[in-house]
Amino acid sequence: MRESAKEAILNAFKESGGDPNNESACLDWLSVTLAMNNYHRYTELLDGNYASIDHKLDKLSQHHCNLCKTSPFPIKRIPLNLPPISKQASDSDSRKHFERSIKTHLELLNQEISYPKDEKICLLVIFLLGNKDRDKDLDNMSKALLDALNNCLFHDDSAVIHLNLIKLRDDKNTKNGEIMINIRRSGLHQNNDVIFDARNHLKHESIT
């Protein structure tokens, strides 16, 4: 296990009242904690707690990317309170208006480019179609958004090497459309064998 991950786990164990020198107790604690997290996730689903579209949006936007292999932080979640547009289906005026709105939103949220030019990026985007929105293709919404984020959230969308897209609709038709972004650095380009490598960690190494 990577040293930073081990430290993070031992620290969390310590914060929960455990003795960080007792790694065997820490492993027991970790397995119970993970099991409880899964249990809560399933009971939430069974109880229908995802009925609220806001709750669903919130949960989905916290998704951690297992492939990009970066430490959990820094992850930025950025809510954009404006309806998605499709690059293909909108005229240039609508696209310009969308781009200006995105820029204004990011300024209001104090979000600016915080990645160096050569940093590779993993992006999760959830498009929520509102009650007045016609259905749109996911890839066309994505293209319009990525274009609008150029020189706002990152230098160029060519830096995005992993893109995770979700399209939702509010069945109760109570909301306007909105977009939720989850952005982080990606470690995918640093290791060609990243997935196999991650499995090796689990297979061959223990927390001790």
Residues that bind Zn ion (CB under 5 A): 65, 67-68, 122, 162
Q: Measuring CA to CA, which residue among 7, 17, 120 is closest to residue 70?
A: 120
> What's the closest the beta carbon of residue 180 comes to Zn ion, in angstroms?
16
- Tokens 């020198």 locate to 21
The least distance separating Zn ion from the CB of residue 111, rounded to whole angstroms, comes to: 19
Closest distance between Zn ion and the C-beta of residue 122, in Å?
3
What is the smallest separation between the CB atom of 29 and Zn ion, expressed in angstroms? 28
Q: What 8-state DSSP symbol labels residue 82?
A: S
Nearest to 79 by CA among 113, 106, 112, 107: 106
> For residue 122, how many C-alpha atoms fall within 13 Å in the half-sphere facing its CB?
21
Please say which residue, 85 or 181, places its beta carbon nearer to Zn ion: 181
Residue whose CB is less far from Zn ion, 122 or 129: 122
The helix/strand/coil state of 61 is: coil
| Alpha-carbon dihedral angle through residues 151, 157, 158, 162, given to the nearest 10 degrees | 140
Q: How far is the CB of 163 from Zn ion (least distance, A)?
A: 8
Residue (60 or 82) nearer to Zn ion, CB: 60
Q: Which is nearer to Zn ion, 65 or 153 (CB)?
A: 65
Q: Which is nearer to Zn ion, 74 or 172 (CB)?
A: 74
Q: Rounded to an integer, what distance in angstroms lies between the CA atom of residue 29 and that of residue 162?
A: 33
